Amino acid sequence: MSAALQVDPNFPDLTDDIDTQNDIFIDVFNSGDGALFDRLYRPDAISNFSGAPLTGAERKAWFEAFLAPRPHLEATLTHAYVAGDVSLIGVTFVIERTDEDGVKRKLIGSCTDVLRRGEDGRWLMAVDRPVMQPSE
């Protein structure tokens, strides 16, 4: 992770600063630490990253397996709206990864995410809905 961000691995916070939030999300994803990445999500959050809606232990296990080979994420914000304790963001992304056969692949898509600020003041992912383009 970039030294400038200083992400607390016990309490990662996506923050209400949209640009910093995107940097944190990218850095934690690119760390390869699926358990840390899962801490960016509320316990009841839903992620469709796997292609199916996952929550809780299933979501965490999927992130751990997917991030273990350290795919590389690049993401660009397309829009962001904050209303009180809810944030709606959109991003376009490219993930470069090596598949089980050693073939390099690119996953390209866009994502609509909903974040919530909890009672503790931390911003965490509530809904993660990436949509992938067809594979190359």
Tell which wins on pLDDT, 15 or 134: 134
For β-strands 104-117 and 86-98, DSSP reports them as antiparallel
CA atoms within 13 A on the CB side of 126: 12
Q: Which of 27, 30, 33 is nearest to 13 (CA)?
A: 27
Q: What whole-number distance in Å separates Cα of residue 132 and Cα of residue 108?
A: 6
User: What integer is the mean pLDDT of 82-93?
Assistant: 94
Question: What strand order describes the sheet that includes 123-132?
Answer: 41-47, 123-132, 104-117, 86-98, 72-83
Write the pLDDT tens digit of every residue in 35-53: 999 999 999 999 999 999 9
DSSP string, 71-86: -EEEEEEEEEEEETTE
CB 120 within 8 A of CB 38: no
pLDDT exceeds 70 at position 1: no
Q: Environment class of residue 114 by beta-carbon count within 10 Å: exposed (0-12), middle (13-18) or buried (19+)? A: middle
pLDDT above 60: residue 85: yes
The mean-pLDDT minimum among 14-28, 32-46, 75-89, 122-136 falls in 14-28
Question: What is residue 2's predicted lDDT score, i.e. its pLDDT?
Answer: 44
Q: List phi, psi (to 5°) of 100.
A: -60, -25
